[in-house]
């Protein structure tokens, strides 16, 4: 399998295990870590492979690439490395000589771990470098950290650590706060971090790598173990680049493929490659040489409703307002320009309205399409004017849409069949010309009850009083009714339990339709295969809370946050999501269901809380987003032509029934039903397969030169 496009240049900058200490402060980056199965497992070849694999994610941090290893050159002899781009780097070894893990002289290595990183500098741009070396006074270089994310309460954490333990810091940033918190508080430190993060922390004393992800899964972390060791990385393509070194199983996981077609994303911890998994959101892993990673969940979200008492309503709404104000204030911490995505809906408008209090020159961004009915640009412009922000819009043409698809899927790593990620890619590219950080409104729907489908239990409540047998018979009675007939869907949904019918916002394929396109279809590999364990943790909760809980583990981290991270980082742009904050969640989780949904609206309490913040024309507006006209474009034009070309050229016929997919496209083209979402799900997989398995499509990945300071 050729997973590494041949046109990519490889650059590796190497520093030694004994390099001078440096501070690492707030920033995005891409991280990669490989732990060998035994001391001395890190060879020259290993370091070179990690350096090359790291370059595959240089878009995540173009400001500062590099590779670090605990291996040392022979007797500390003077060695150096020249990268493919012609840059020579060196660092000072223990003996005062320039040294690295491997050198031009071919010095032998004897290390256990190698780290790759690409830094996007956000805070203390001039002095913040990777990796971070920190330790207590008696062991000042005990820990080595590579870190992707931001810790927004780092100032408060640093002060708490000083007060409680007399902790010392050499920098003014958030990286040291992570390491010191872990040193003094252990794994409990993770519950005190307020931010988005994925990090790898090497403990030179225990000889183990500690890795963790934030509670909601805002930042990704892939993980793979083979005969050659264990690797973790921000992007799967980097682990594929290490497949030979690690000895990974790179065959397609057909179970994960079926889950993808059901859900329109691959659910955590799966990936489409059998030998690569993901560290789940709200979890940490301990990796020791010669051992399989040991994972632990540290965050178990609970929606424990606290009823409103008479006269307390406004105080509860004020509590929401206050926690959002505080979250946005902390998310504005940066030494670069911060903008905001703005769809014109309540969530993004609220974030932008709060952000402009801290940056009166706030720039907001939106996108739309040339086709009428598929652009919210005018609404976004009105919202921007109402709050006093400068606004920039990007209109995407069908030709731009089609031409960008290979590049977008390459950045994704895993197929995600949400067409909204394409306009997100374009607006991120536009935003990066003006800012380095953007705020966005993701997470509000999951926390405050924003999806229309959350009102479904109200419409189906009458079915709850029927005996189970009667409910099932109503479901059988609905099957002969014609598609689209009034009442058919209601009878079908009413016959099912919540666990049977609800699995998020993407419901493209029925079982019958899946059998038609998946030769290896297994009835047991349906959505309940993914959701059963999650539902078990919410037994006894009200149905809205259970649906929210499911979405935290499925739709939010599988679709929304993946496209948000991948499409913005593809353009070296940091995206921050103030709604997905532990303190905001703590307030939202206490809301009773009647403060989330009513028969006429969603996010009821949030709308009340935002009355002083959001312009009146937005407050009760229906949910927006970035609608995409794929239904129309798959019937004529460039996207339709591209779709036929993908089907006809695909080598994935053993996994997907290509004639059945082509027949589906023919039917859609002829107006015999709307098959656009099902088609899109399969087409994105075929494109992914062509890039990462066949190697028949090699995306042309641009390397724009962004200013470090913006």
- Cα separation, 418 vs 570, in Å, equals 17
Local structure of 539: helix, strand or coil:
coil
- Cα separation, 324 vs 321, in Å, equals 5
* Annotated catalytic residue, options 29, 245, 597, 679: 29
- Number of alpha carbons in the 13 Å side-chain half-sphere of residue 19: 25
Phi, psi for residue 420 in degrees, rounded to 5: -65, -15
Q: What six digits make up the tokens of 102? A: 């491997």
- Cα separation, 72 vs 95, in Å, equals 11
Local structure of 452: helix, strand or coil:
helix
- Cα separation, 108 vs 100, in Å, equals 11
| DSSP states along 342-401 | --SSHHHHHHHHHHTTT-TT-EEEEEEESSTTSB-HHHHHHHHHHHT-EEEEEEEPHHHH
Residues 463 and 360 sit within 8 Å (Cβ to Cβ) = no
CA dihedral (382, 387, 388, 389) positive or negative: negative
Q: Which residues contact 389 (CB under 8 A, 6 or more apart)?
A: 340, 342, 352, 356, 362, 363, 364
Phi, psi for residue 296 in degrees, rounded to 5: -140, 135
Q: What six digits make up the tokens of 612? A: 């002083």
Cα angle value 545/546/548 (rounded, 5°): 65
- Cα separation, 622 vs 346, in Å, equals 9
CA proximity to 125, closest of 180, 181, 75, 172 = 172
Q: What six digits make up the tokens of 304? A: 């424990």
Q: Where are the beta strands (DSSP E) in 425-565?
A: 437-439
Local structure of 600: helix, strand or coil:
coil
CA dihedral (35, 37, 41, 46) positive or negative: negative
Q: Note the Cα 213 to chain centre separation in Å.
A: 11
DSSP state of 625: -
- Cα separation, 661 vs 519, in Å, equals 12
- Cα separation, 518 vs 601, in Å, equals 39
- Residue 29 known to be catalytic: yes
Local structure of 186: helix, strand or coil:
helix
Secondary structure of 297-352 as H, E, C letters:
ECCCCCCCCCCCCCCCHHHHHHHHHHHHHHHHHHHCCCCCCEEEECCCCHHHHHHH
- Cα separation, 504 vs 530, in Å, equals 11
Catalytic machinery residues: 29
């Amino acid at each position: 399998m050729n997973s590494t496009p041949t046109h990519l240049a490889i650059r590796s900058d190497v520093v030694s295990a004994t390099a001078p200490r440096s501070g690492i402060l707030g920033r995005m980056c891409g991280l990669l870590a490989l732990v060998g199965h035994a001391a001395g497992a890190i060879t020259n070849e290993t370091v070179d492979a990690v350096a090359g694999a790291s370059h595959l994610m240089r878009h995540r941090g173009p400001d500062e690439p590099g590779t670090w290893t605990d291996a040392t050159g022979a007797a500390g002899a003077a060695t150096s490395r020249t990268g493919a781009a012609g840059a020579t780097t060196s660092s000072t070894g223990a003996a005062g000589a320039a040294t690295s893990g491997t050198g031009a002289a071919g010095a032998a290595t004897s290390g256990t771990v190698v780290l790759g990183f690409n830094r996007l500098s956000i805070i203390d741009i001039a002095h913040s470098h990777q990796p971070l070396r920190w330790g207590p006074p008696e062991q000042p270089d005990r820990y080595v950290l590579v870190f992707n994310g931001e810790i927004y309460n780092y100032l408060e954490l640093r002060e708490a650590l000083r007060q409680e333990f007399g902790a010392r810091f050499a920098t003014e940033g958030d990286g040291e706060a992570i390491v010191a918190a872990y040193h003094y508080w252990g794994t409990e430190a993770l519950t005190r971090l307020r931010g988005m993060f994925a990090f790898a922390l090497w403990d030179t004393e225990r000889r183990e790598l500690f890795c963790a992800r934030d509670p909601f899964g805002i930042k990704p972390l892939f993980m793979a173990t083979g005969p050659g060791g264990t690797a973790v990385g921000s992007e799967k393509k980097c682990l594929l680049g290490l497949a030979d070194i690690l000895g990974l199983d790179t065959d397609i996981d057909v179970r994960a493929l079926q889950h993808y077609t059901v859900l329109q994303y691959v659910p955590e911890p799966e990936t489409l490659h059998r030998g690569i998994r993901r560290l789940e959101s709200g979890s940490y892993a301990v990796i020791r040489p010669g051992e399989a990673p040991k994972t632990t969940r540290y965050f178990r979200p609970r929606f424990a409703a606290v009823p409103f008492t008479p006269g307390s309503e406004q105080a509860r709404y004020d509590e929401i307002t206050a926690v959002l104000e505080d979250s946005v204030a902390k998310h504005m911490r940066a030494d670069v320009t911060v903008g905001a995505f703005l769809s014109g809906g309540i969530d993004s408008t609220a974030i932008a309205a709060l952000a402009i209090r801290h940056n009166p020159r706030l720039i907001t961004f939106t996108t739309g399409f040339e086709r009428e009915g598929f652009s919210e640009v005018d609404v976004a412009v009105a919202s921007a004017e109402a709050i006093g922000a400068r606004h920039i819009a990007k209109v995407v043409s069908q030709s731009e849409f089609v031409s960008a698809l290979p590049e977008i899927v390459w950045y994704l790593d895993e197929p995600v069949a949400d067409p909204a990620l394409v306009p997100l890619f374009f607006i991120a590219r536009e935003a990066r010309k003006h800012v380095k950080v953007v705020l966005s409104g993701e997470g509000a729907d999951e926390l405050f009850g924003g999806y229309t489908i959350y009102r479904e239990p109200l419409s189906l409540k009458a079915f709850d009083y029927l005996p189970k047998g009667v409910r099932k018979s109503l479901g059988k009675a609905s099957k002969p009714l014609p598609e689209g007939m009034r009442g058919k869907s209601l009878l079908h949904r009413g016959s099912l339990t919540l666990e049977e019918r609800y699995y998020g916002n993407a419901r493209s394929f029925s079982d019958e339709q899946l059998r038609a396109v998946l030769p290896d279809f297994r009835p047991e590999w349906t959505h309940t295969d993914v959701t059963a364990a999650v539902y078990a943790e919410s037994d006894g909760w009200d149905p809205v809370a259970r649906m929210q809980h499911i979405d935290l583990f499925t739709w939010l981290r599988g679709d929304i946050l993946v496209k948000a991270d991948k499409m913005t980082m593809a353009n070296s742009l940091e995206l921050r999501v103030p709604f997905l904050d532990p303190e905001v969640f703590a307030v939202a989780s206490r809301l009773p269901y009647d403060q989330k949904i009513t028969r006429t609206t969603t996010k009821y309490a949030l709308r009340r809380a935002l009355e002083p913040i959001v312009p009146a024309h937005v407050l009760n507006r229906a949910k927006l987003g970035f609608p995409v006209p794929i239904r129309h474009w798959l019937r004529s034009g460039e996207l339709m032509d591209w779709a036929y070309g993908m089907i006809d050229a695909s080598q994935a016929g053993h996994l997907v029934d290509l004639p059945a997919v082509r027949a589906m496209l023919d039917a859609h083209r002829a107006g015999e039903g709307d098959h656009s979402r099902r088609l899109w799900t399969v087409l994105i997989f075929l494109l992914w397969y062509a890039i990462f398995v066949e190697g028949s499509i090699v995306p042309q990945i641009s390397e724009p030169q962004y200013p470090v300071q913006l």
